[in-house]
Each structure stands twice: as structure tokens, then as C-alpha cells.
Structure 1
Amino acid sequence: MTDLCVRLVPLFNTLSQENQIEIEDLVRKKIYQKGELVVDPSSDDNLIIVAYGGAKLYNLDENGHENITQILHTGDYAGEDWLFGKKNSNTYVEAIENSKICLLNRKDFLNLLEDQPMLSIKLIEQSMTKMQSMQKQIDLLSLPKIEDRLSEYLQEYAVKVGKKTFNLPLKMKDLALYLGTTPETLSRKFALLEKQGVLTRKLRKIILN
């Protein structure tokens, strides 16, 4: 059971082991290399589960620049809107490290909901949780000072991983996009926070003081 992708998704936690195995039989697993696209607008409608590794979910503005809307870590998932018929017109998912991704097809998932109606309620609950997470990013971007956005992001990530020493989950370019700034400005703000004694940085290793 420890290797089941579906066990990583809160949506399926209330199901019996037998039902989880039934769902797992519908899942397609694939290894993606860092920088490889998992999803683009031409892809099939799938629920995406990160078995291990990480990915970024983003869209492109009119100038072709990335706007990161979500960072997926081990156990995170995305794509429930596509499962229920919303068309993907401008969303991309890209591996930010070598990752194992599990894909559950829309047709298979809808058939599953007919057999497991309680999943619909669970899905709504989890969607609300994800909306709260997206609201956190909006709140971050509302902070006028970049250093405050950066500090808040690092503090929240430290809580998520349960330790104050960790490696940045994103490249500087991607983190800058997530926080609404440039890599050059972000580097200066890291230096500022280090000077203020908020953190110690050694390349991608961060130690919060």
C-alpha cells in the first residue's frame, strides 16, 4: 500500500484499502525529468498527482511570460477542474525536478464518482482547501514590500516542511515569478534579510533564524 499514488491524495483518504486499489488500477504513472512539461493545453483531461518530486502550474500572459499559480510538492494534486469539464486553454504543468507523476483520466474518474458518490463531497472540501492556498499567494502579492513577501513565503514553507532549515523548492527565476518580482530584485532581498539576521542563505539552502 505504501506505493499507491492515491494514498497521497486527501480526496481518497476516506476510502477503504480495496477501493483505493481499484482507483490505483486506473492511474497511469510516468517519470518526468526536470523542465519537462507534464500538461499543456493540448493534453488530455487528467487529475495530476505528484508521487514524488515537484512541479509548477502556470499560465502565460499575452507576452509569453509565466505566471505561476501553484507549486506542487509530493502528495499534491491538480486538475480537478479539468475532470469536471473545464477546458484547459492556457495552463501548463512543468516538473521542477525529476518527478514521478500519476495521471487519472477524466472518463475513468467520472465513472468512479458514479460508484463512489461520497467522493464528490470530499472533492468539494479539498477544492476549498486549495482555494485557501491560492488566496495565500494573493495575500502575498498584496504586500507592498518584496522582502515582506519573501519572508512570509519562507516562514510558511518552513511550517509546511516542519523545519527551519531547508532547500528552496524553486529556482530563483520561478520563485521571483511566484512573488511577483525579478530574480535580480529577489537576490537583493535575500541579501537584505540575511543582513537583518532573518535568515542565513547558502546557495539554495535556507536557515531561518
Structure 2
Amino acid sequence: MPARNRTLKIGDIKVSCGNCSLTELCLPHGMDGPDIEKLDQIVKRQQPFQPGQHVFRAGDKSRSLFAVRSGALKSYCTTEDGDEQVLGFTLPGELVGLDGMSDGSYASSSVVLETTSICELPYDLLEDLCHSLVGLNRQMMRVVSKEITADQGMLLLLGKRNAEERLAAFLLSLSSRYKSRGLSTTEFNLPMSRQDIGNYLGLAIETVSRLFASFQKDQLLKVNRRQVVLVDMPRLRGMVEGCSGRKI
């Protein structure tokens, strides 16, 4: 990690776990004031990362978990053939680096998609706090559970859905994640490229571009480069729920 890291305490800065707008999404969720202060004391807040910078790379020695305050990250791995496989995208209030907690090194890489602010939580200090703070331990279990659920959902997405359903499900997932941040559910910016979306969904970039054009023609959405407006949410949901039988 860059040498620019420094540990900040409450009172030294304006941004802290206690007054962060993402508290309900991140690790402090469900914790009371004194416990949040204890968590805040171990957090390292870094200078913003710029697009293309790596938070960590696969194989790096793992020391910390990272929480995104603003911006977006892409997680990926490299296949034996040297090809990139996108594993997911991390938005504000979400964590990355869980895959480094088991064997001492990160299994994937995390790269910045747009200017991103990050909180770093050293594993050893976080583990000690989890032993003493029931609320933090409970939230860590929720985070791991959400990761497992997301992985299962991705397997279903790739295994059972056609191209149109995959893109619709992806856009609805982003809509839901932005909603939990108090942002618009129907109008948002895509921090990832069409190529990244296609890689993640198992589709060619040409297919993704064609689908966006087709969805726009069918008045399901409006798109201007990376700015998307979901015009007909019920129809998008119908495309996805018709396949799975589950509501989104």
C-alpha cells in the first residue's frame, strides 16, 4: 500500500464513522455511539485514489479490509490465459478485501473506476474489536452473508438468464443499491464501462451496446453515455421476475 496512509482519530477530522452518511450500510450499522468511536479509532482514511490505481492486487499480502466512502471499485481476477474476469463492483458503503482474510493474501484485485475515497480497517485490529463488540461481530456476519448471497445470485444470473434478462437484472441491482444510499432509483451514473459490464455478465461488448440501444428503443430506459434513466421499472422487473419467480 502507498506510504501516504495515516491513522486519524475522531476530532482530528470532519469525517468519522459516527457522522458518515453511510453508517447504516457499513460496519457501524447497529452499533451505539461509544462502540462506533472504538471502531473509528482503528480506521485509516486515505487520500482519494484516482481511476486506474489499485487498492490491492491478487497475491498481495493481505492486511486490511477496505470500505468505500465515495466512488467505485472493480474487483477482478486474471485467468491462466491472461484474460481479465470481472468479479463485481464495489459502491459507497460496501466492503472489499474479504477474500484476503483466510490465507494471508488477496485472491482478487481491486482497481479504481472513478475518484474514490476509502477507509482502511486493519484485519488484526478489526478482529480484536469483533471479539469485544457484539454489534460489530454481528455486522461482520451480515456482510459475509451478503457476499455469499451475491455470489449465489450471480451464479443464477449467468446460468439461467438470457442476455436481455442479465442486463435488466444488473440495472435493477444497481437501482436497489443506489436506493439504499438515499439516491435516485431511476437515474444514476454507471461508473463501469460497457466492456466491464459485458465481462461481468458474460456478454460481448457488442451485445451490451446492442441491448442498451434496444432497451432505449423499447422505452425501457434512456441512456447518454454512462448516464442511465430507467423509464419503465415495472417492465424491467417483469423481465427478471418472469424468469426467476422472485420479486426484485
- Asked if these proteins are the same fold (TM beyond 0.5), I'd say yes
The equivalent position to 2:169 in structure 1, one of 138, 152, 162, is 152
* CA distance, structure 1, for counterparts of residue 186 and residue 106 of structure 2: 38
The equivalent position to 2:144 in structure 1, one of 127, 134, 137, is 127
* Contact kept? 1:176, 1:182, Cα under 8 Å: yes
* CA distance, structure 2, for counterparts of residue 203 and residue 20 of structure 1: 40
Coordinate RMSD, CA, aligned:
2.2
Partner of 2:31: helix, strand, or coil?
coil
Over 3 Å counting, the alpha-carbon distance change for 1:114 and 1:65 in structure 2 is same
Q: Which structure 2 segments of 5+ residues have no match?
A: 1-9, 180-184, 232-248
Partner of 2:27: helix, strand, or coil?
helix
Query: What's 1:198 paired with?
Result: 220
TM-score, L = length of structure 1: 0.88
* Contact kept? 1:26, 1:104, Cα under 8 Å: yes
* Contact kept? 1:69, 1:134, Cα under 8 Å: no
Query: What's 2:34 paired with?
Result: 18
Query: What's 1:44 paired with?
Result: 62
* Contact kept? 2:74, 2:113, Cα under 8 Å: yes
Greater RCO, 1 or 2 (C-alpha within 8 Å, sep 6+): 1
Deviation at 1:207, TM superposition (A): 1.8
Over 3 Å counting, the alpha-carbon distance change for 1:144 and 1:117 in structure 2 is closer
- Where is the strand percentage greater, Structure 1 or Structure 2? 1
Query: What's 2:105 paired with?
Result: 88
TM-score, L = length of structure 2: 0.75
Over 3 Å counting, the alpha-carbon distance change for 1:88 and 1:44 in structure 2 is closer
Moved over 6 A (4+): none
Partner of 2:219: helix, strand, or coil?
coil
Partner of 2:114: helix, strand, or coil?
coil
Q: Which structure 1 segments of 5+ residues have no match?
A: none
